[in-house]
């Protein structure tokens, strides 16, 4: 399996580190906005090609599939371009920043029959897998999910502290993780409400947001998001169930009393990104639909569209 990595920033390297651990996978092309960055990353990970344009990778016969870690605004068009070139594609979250674009990606996937997967990593984190298995088996019933997604990001910087060429978004990016996970764990979302705080004068985005969700099972979710939080950073999920309370912090899980739960045997790795990439590769090899396929996560983007309409009223 020969992979092109497009977008060699902080998150792109997380995928490259994960791909090294998957047997039979080779990274053959690295594409980035800056050629010097693409060349440095290609050399580090042993790729034979480095460039600045997606079309360079799509034209190569030694590329079977593409992983897109590019700015949000490029995701939909690039995913479609990959499939039009006959390449399987995994696009990092979010799939798109509009409902129309999300639908267009699904349409192209259905036309081509290629694997198109979206980077909804929470489906793969061992902590959330552990809970999903017990919810599906009936051992647990989710009553409420309380989620905090907090960053301190008042300047347009990436995870490495480097300037970004694009602006991140609480609704279309960070809320997408929780909206999809809540539906994955509880059922179809039937009600959604949103409030946002002041718009940043330079970045042009809301820096604080509050979202409420309700599933057809009756479970509810409260999601708080902030780029203004000067404290512990990241996303923390509290699952309040009929038979226990659990707190998930990425790949780690504890009870409501902070008692550690061993999730090391849930899957072949404790790294959610690696597990996500393993699913992408396996789905291509086995010619099947992956978990987090564009079809399976599409409902999330319809909910985000509904929330955006509320904010625009």
pLDDT in tens, 188-200: 999 999 999 999 9
Owning domain of residue 148: 125-266
pLDDT of 152 reads 84
Q: Are 221 and 210 in contact (CB under 8 A)?
A: no
pTM reported for the whole predicted model: 0.94
Reply yes or no on whether the pLDDT at 242 is more than 90. Answer: yes
Q: How confident is the model at residue 295 (pLDDT cuts 50, 70, 90)?
A: very high
Comparing CA positions, the residue from 124, 120, 129 lying closest to residue 173 is 120
Q: How confident is the model at residue 311 (pLDDT cuts 50, 70, 90)?
A: very high
Do residue 86 and residue 193 come from a single domain? no
Reply yes or no on whether the pLDDT at 153 is more than 90. Answer: no
Do residue 75 and residue 8 come from a single domain? yes
3-38 pLDDT, tens per residue?
999 999 889 999 999 999 999 999 999 999 999 999
Determine how many CB atoms are found less than 10 A away from the CB of residue 100.
Answer: 10
Output the average pLDDT for the chain. 95
Q: Are 41 and 63 in contact (CB under 8 A)?
A: no
The percent of residues in the chain predicted with pLDDT above 90, rounded, is 89
Reply yes or no on whether the pLDDT at 164 is more than 80. Answer: no
Do residue 59 and residue 161 come from a single domain? no
Can the peptide bond before residue 250 be classed as cis, meaning omega within 30 degrees of 0?
no
CATH number at residue 20: 3.40.50.720
pLDDT of 162 reads 67
Total structural domains within the chain:
2
Q: What is the mean pLDDT of residues 128-146?
A: 98
Distance CA 68, CA 78 (A): 8
> Would residue 309 count as lying in a domain?
no
Q: Are 37 and 8 in contact (CB under 8 A)?
A: yes
pLDDT of 155 reads 72
Q: Which of 162-176, 271-285, 295-309 has the lowest mean pLDDT?
A: 162-176
Distance CA 196, CA 296 (A): 28
pLDDT of 168 reads 77
> Would residue 92 count as lying in a domain?
yes
Distance CA 173, CA 169 (A): 6
Comparing CA positions, the residue from 147, 201, 156, 204 lying closest to residue 177 is 147
Residue 291 burial (C-beta neighbours within 10 Å; 0-12, 13-18, 19+): middle
Q: Which of 127-136, 165-174, 227-236 has the highest mean pLDDT?
A: 127-136
pLDDT of 194 reads 98
Q: Are 304 and 176 in contact (CB under 8 A)?
A: yes
CATH number at residue 197: 3.30.360.10
> Would residue 247 count as lying in a domain?
yes
Do residue 46 and residue 71 come from a single domain? yes
pLDDT of 232 reads 86
Reply yes or no on whether the pLDDT at 302 is more than 90. Answer: yes
């Amino acid at each position: 399996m020969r992979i092109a990595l497009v977008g060699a920033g902080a998150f792109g390297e997380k995928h490259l580190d994960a791909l090294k651990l998957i047997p039979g996978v080779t990274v053959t092309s690295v594409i980035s906005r800056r050629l010097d960055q693409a060349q440095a990353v290609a050399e580090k990970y042993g790729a034979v090609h480095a460039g600045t344009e997606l079309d360079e990778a799509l034209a190569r016969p030694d590329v079977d599939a593409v992983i897109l870690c590019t700015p949000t605004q490029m995701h939909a068009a690039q995913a479609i371009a990959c499939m039009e070139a006959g390449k399987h594609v995994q696009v990092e979250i979010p799939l798109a920043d509009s409902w129309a674009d999300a639908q267009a990606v699904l349409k192209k996937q259905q036309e081509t029959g290629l694997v198109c997967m979206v980077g909804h990593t929470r489906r793969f984190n061992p902590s959330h897998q552990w809970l999903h298995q017990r919810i599906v088996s009936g051992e647990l019933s989710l009553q409420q999910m309380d989620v905090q997604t907090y960053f301190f990001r008042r300047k347009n910087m990436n995870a490495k502290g480097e300037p970004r060429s694009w602006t991140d978004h609480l609704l279309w990016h960070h809320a997408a993780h929780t909206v999809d996970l809540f539906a994955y764990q509880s059922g179809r979302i039937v009600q959604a409400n949103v409030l946002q705080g002041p718009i940043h004068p330079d970045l042009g985005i809301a820096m604080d947001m509050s979202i409420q969700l309700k599933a057809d099972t009756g479970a509810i979710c409260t999601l708080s998001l902030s780029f203004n939080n000067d404290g512990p950073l990241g996303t923390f999920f509290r699952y309040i169930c009929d038979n226990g309370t659990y707190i998930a912090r990425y790949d780690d899980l504890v009870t409501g009393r902070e008692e550690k739960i061993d999730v090391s045997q849930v899957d072949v790795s404790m790294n959610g990104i690696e597990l996500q990439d393993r699913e992408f590769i396996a789905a291509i090899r086995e010619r099947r639909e992956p978990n987090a396929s564009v079809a399976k996560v599409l409902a999330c983007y319809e909910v985000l569209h509904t929330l955006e309409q509320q904010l625009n009223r």
